[in-house]
Amino acid sequence: MGGSRKHFYKNIPERRPPSDPGFFLNYLLAIDFIEGRITEGNDYRLLDIGFGSLDFLLHMTRHHPNIAGFGCDISDKRIGRAAPLERIDLQVADFNDCHSVYPDGFFDFVLAAELIEHLENTDNLIVESKRYLNKGGYLIITTPNLAAWYERILLLLGMEPLMAEVAYSSRTYGKSWLYKLMGRDASPPIGHLRLFTPAALRELCEYHGLVMVEYSGYYTVDFLPNRLISRFCRNMAQGIFMVFRKP
């Protein structure tokens, strides 16, 4: 694997979330939040940054004709594969350095699902998302939790956190025996650059003038301890689901 970040993301294999109704819980939380804030007779614009697949946008636009869907991704290959599927506006954009993909105040909702951990310039994502939102619009962010219960255990054992990666060549450095135990010793990297605790994500967004309005944990690996901890102890959940409003 080469050392170029753009090369890595432009060529990373597509990882599609399960199709409706089998969305991962973070997407279900996003759907529930948006559906609770739209009304008939009003039109809305929804942007999915780093959409990966069109499943979420297709679900929202098909179930809600008053929602116009927009998506952007760093991979022109992914844009090319997705573009013929549906009448959704798609753009190529790298949120590490882009500044002018959409007009100011254009969107009611912006979703950045499992994206921020892949960026070097996380400030730019927040600044640009805020600029895109109209007054009272919402930024929805989901990301792995660096303070998840199992990450705390691994750190106590002197191991690299499970979701952390130190190189593009492999994701197993510092925890190779664990991957071998799971039968995934050749597991390819997925490009995690910056991992967040809930407090860090909240403080970053508040620094840029957004107001947190909702916070919960979620899980994508469904086994009992993970499910219970993610549901009842959000600070130690597998993932972070946060929503911020533009004042």
Read off the amino acid at residue 50.
Answer: G
User: Which H helix or E strand runs over 132?
Assistant: helix 122-132
57 token code pair: 């946008």
229 token code pair: 């901890």
- Tens of pLDDT, residue by residue over 170-216, are 899 999 988 888 887 767 888 999 999 999 999 999 999 999 999 99
The 3-state DSSP class for residue 174 equals: coil
β-strand partners of 242: 141, 215
DSSP state of 196: B
- Tens of pLDDT, residue by residue over 26-73, are 999 999 999 999 999 999 999 999 987 788 999 999 999 999 999 998
- Delineate the domains of the chain, giving CATH numbers in brackets: 16-147+193-245 (3.40.50.150)
Q: Please give the model's pTM, rounded to 2 decimal places.
A: 0.89
Among the listed residues 136, 11, 3, 19, the one whose alpha carbon sits nearest the alpha carbon of residue 75: 11
CB neighbours (10 Å) of residue 202? Answer: 18
Does residue 15 register a pLDDT over 60? Answer: no
Does residue 155 register a pLDDT over 90? Answer: yes
Does residue 238 register a pLDDT over 70? Answer: yes
